[in-house]
Amino acid sequence: MSAFAPDARWCAALAKRAAQEPLCERVPLFWREHQIGSVEPDFLRQIDWQRTDDGPVPLQQETLAGVPVWRVRGEASASLNRIARVLRAAGVGRVVQHWRDEQLAVCSAQGEQIATVERGIVRPLGIATQAVHLVGSAPNGRVWVQQRSLSKANEPGLWDTLMGGMVSAQDSIESALARETWEEAGLHLAQLTDLRRGGDVMLRKPSSDGADAGYVVERVDWYRCTVPEGVQPLNQDGEVAQFELLDLIELAQRLQRDEFTTEAALILLAALRRDGP
């Protein structure tokens, strides 16, 4: 990739999209001394937590230093996943729609994993997540991109990097990179050359699928590689509509037309600004 000088106003707008305040003031969510997330004021009040089939849920509202907070009681993973199941059973749309039977890490402010929780509940509870992306270039400098499936719950039809996916609680960044590269692009890392870490970006913004859907707090580590001549991506999990190989001029134009997800735009902008493939 060669150096890229994008429009300054577009860059400012992109940075603003990646760092947005919540749509309304959120209530902190604690487990012990750790703030693990936040919720919209009425989100957890929509369920009668004392009348679930298997007894009261270990969750209560209290005041901390004069500020209302929600506090998760008991063992963190068990309690968080029970909260998730109760919300799903109650038919809370955001939770039902995004349920994946996949556990993501819940970490302290110091980055220590203290629990795991079902993926479908992380946005409503404002729990920080981690993702990994891969920027793939052809030997001639063109760039592989993918269009997200039109059936995806988040940002259907927008364009993305060659691969982008969540890091599960069982994954390291490296194992998530390998797994997601196969699932989304049908490529093994051994097929790629010049694989190396590119950097990271941070997202803080309301979830894209509704005002009551929650808040995104996500660190995205991204890698770059060369996809050798004759090697083509092929989606394996049904989450990609198509792949395209773009020259740098077209990629820059489509970025500035806001055809890409926010995180993909941030990553590709960083890659384009750097000299060399």
Task: Note the pLDDT tens digit of each residue in 199-241.
Answer: 999 999 998 665 566 899 999 999 999 999 999 999 999 999 9
Which residues share a beta bridge with 67? 64
Q: What percent of the chain has pLDDT over 90?
A: 78
Block residue for tokens 């991506």 = 233
List for the chain the helix, strand, coil content (%; round to 5).
25, 30, 40
Q: Would you call 19 helix, strand, or coil by DSSP?
A: strand
Q: Where in the chain is the domain with CATH 3.90.79.10?
A: 8-20+129-272
pLDDT of residue 204: 97
**Rounded-to-integer distance, Cα 96 and Cα 102, Å:** 13
The DSSP code sequence of 191-254 is: G-EEEEEEEEEEEEEE-TT-TTS-EEEEEEEEEEEE--TT-----SSS-EEEEEEE-HHHHHHH
- How far apart CA 24 and CA 50 sit, in angstroms, is 27
Query: Comparing C-alpha atoms, which of 83, 121, 86 is closest to residue 101?
Result: 121
pLDDT tens-digit readout, 149-187: 999 888 999 999 999 999 999 999 999 999 999 999 999
Fold of 8-20+129-272: Nucleoside Triphosphate Pyrophosphohydrolase (3.90.79)
- pLDDT score recorded for residue 185: 98
pTM: 0.92
pLDDT bin (cut points 50, 70, 90) of residue 277 is: very low
Would you state the pLDDT for residue 254? 96
For residue 77, count other CB atoms closer than 10 A to its CB.
17
